Chains A and B, each alone.
Chain A
Amino acid sequence: MSTTTKSAAPQSQYQPDANGRLLEVENLHVEFHTPDGIARAINGASFDLHQGETLAILGESGSGKSVTAQAIMGILDMPPAVIPEGAIRYAGHDLLTMPEEQRRKVRGPEISMIFQDALSSLNPTFPVGWQIGEMFRQHRGMNKSDAYAQAVRLMERVAIPAAKERVKQYPHQFSGGMRQRIMIAMAIALDPAVLIADEPTTALDVTVQAQIMALLAELQEERQMGLILITHDLGVVADVADRAAVMYAGRIVAKADIDDLYARPAHPYTRGLLESIPRLDQKGQTLAAIGGLPPNLMRIPPGCAFNPRCRMAQEICREQEPELRRVGNQESRCHFAEEVLNG
Chain B
Amino acid sequence: MADVILKADDIVKHYPIKGGILRTTTGHVKAVDGVSFELHRGETLGIVGESGCGKSTLGRVLMRLEEPTSGTVNFDGVEMYAQSGSAMRKLRRDIQIVFQDPYTSLNPRKTVGDIIGEPFDIHPDVVPKGGRKQAVKDLLDMVGLNPEHINRYPHQFSGGQRQRIGIARGIALKPKVLICDEPVSALDVSVQAQVINLMEKLQDELGLSYIFIAHDLSVVRHISDRVGVMYLGRMVELGTEAEIYQRPTHPYTQALLSAVPVPDPTMRGKREQIVLTGDVPSPANPPSGCRFHTRCFKAQEVCSVEDPELIPRPDGAGEHRSACLFAEPRVIVETVDVTDVEPDTRFATTDTVDVDAFGQTPGALPDDETAEVDRTEVADGYAPEDQPTGVGRMIDNREGDNPRPPV
Residues on A close to B: CB < 8 A? 32, 34-36, 39, 41, 60-67, 70, 76-77, 80-81, 161, 175-178, 199, 202-211, 214, 232-239, 241, 258-259, 261-263, 268, 271-299, 301, 307-309, 311-313, 340, 343
Contacts and interface: CB of A to CB of B under 8 A. Distances in A.
B357 A295 contact: yes
B333 interface: yes
Contacts of B348: 271-272, 275-276, 288-291, 311
B91 interface: no
A208 B279 contact: yes
Contacts of B338: 282-286
30 contacts: A32-B382, A34-B378, A61-B188, A65-B381, A77-B379, A202-B401, A206-B256, A206-B260, A207-B50, A208-B279, A214-B275, A234-B189, A238-B268, A239-B262, A273-B189, A278-B193, A279-B218, A280-B217, A282-B336, A282-B337, A283-B336, A286-B338, A286-B341, A286-B342, A287-B197, A289-B192, A289-B197, A291-B351, A291-B359, A293-B396
A232 B402 contact: yes
B380 to A, nearest CB: 4
Given A278-B216, A278-B218, A287-B222, 15 more contacts: A41-B382, A67-B381, A204-B405, A233-B261, A235-B261, A241-B265, A272-B190, A276-B348, A278-B193, A284-B340, A287-B193, A288-B344, A292-B355, A295-B357, A311-B345
Given A259-B266, A281-B262, A311-B346, A289 B381 contact: no
Interface of B: 50-51, 158, 160, 188-194, 196-197, 215-219, 221-223, 241-242, 245, 255-268, 273, 275-276, 278-280, 333-351, 354-360, 378-387, 392, 394-396, 398-406
Contacts of B358: 292, 301, 308
Listed residue (B189, B196, B218) with the most chain A CB atoms within 10 angstroms of its CB: B189
10 A-B pairs with the lowest CB-CB distances in the bound complex, closest first: A284-B339, A235-B261, A288-B348, A288-B343, A289-B193, A291-B355, A278-B222, A62-B398, A276-B193, A205-B50
A289 B260 CA distance: 22
A297 B266 CA distance: 35
Given A70-B379, A238-B262, A288-B343, A60 B189 contact: yes
B57 to A, nearest CB: 17
B401 A232 contact: yes
Contacts of B339: 283-284
Contact of B221 (A238, A276, A280): A280
Contact of A66 (B188, B242, B381): B381
Contacts of A64: 381
Nearest to A159: B277
B347 A67 contact: no
Contact of A258 (B265, B275, B381, B392): B265
Given A283-B241, A301-B357, A76 B379 contact: yes
B256 A207 contact: yes
Given A203-B405, A209-B259, A296-B396, A291 B349 contact: yes
A238 B267 contact: yes
A204 B193 CA distance: 22
A39 B398 CA distance: 13
Contacts of B219: 278
Given A210-B259, A262-B264, A293 B359 contact: no
Nearest to B401: A61
B363 to A, nearest CB: 13
A275 B259 CA distance: 22
Given A32-B379, A280-B262, A293 B394 contact: yes
A235 B257 CA distance: 13
Contacts of A277: 189, 192-193, 218, 263
B265 A293 contact: no
A294 B357 contact: yes
Contact of A62 (B347, B354, B381, B386): B381
A238 B263 contact: yes
Contact of B399 (A61, A202, A290): A61
A156 B349 CA distance: 49
B399 A207 contact: no
Contacts of A284: 337-340
B221 A289 contact: no
A278 to B, nearest CB: 4
B399 A293 contact: yes
Contacts of A283: 221, 241-242, 245, 335-339
A327 B406 CA distance: 41
Listed residue (A177, A214, A296) with the most chain B CB atoms within 10 angstroms of its CB: A296
Nearest to A295: B357
A179 to B, nearest CB: 9
Contact of A205 (B51, B242, B384): B51
A271 B344 contact: yes
A181 B268 CA distance: 24
A331 B405 CA distance: 35
Nearest to A239: B261
A297 B398 CA distance: 11
Contacts of B356: 292-293, 308
Contacts of A209: 259, 261
Contacts of A208: 50, 279
B290 to A, nearest CB: 17
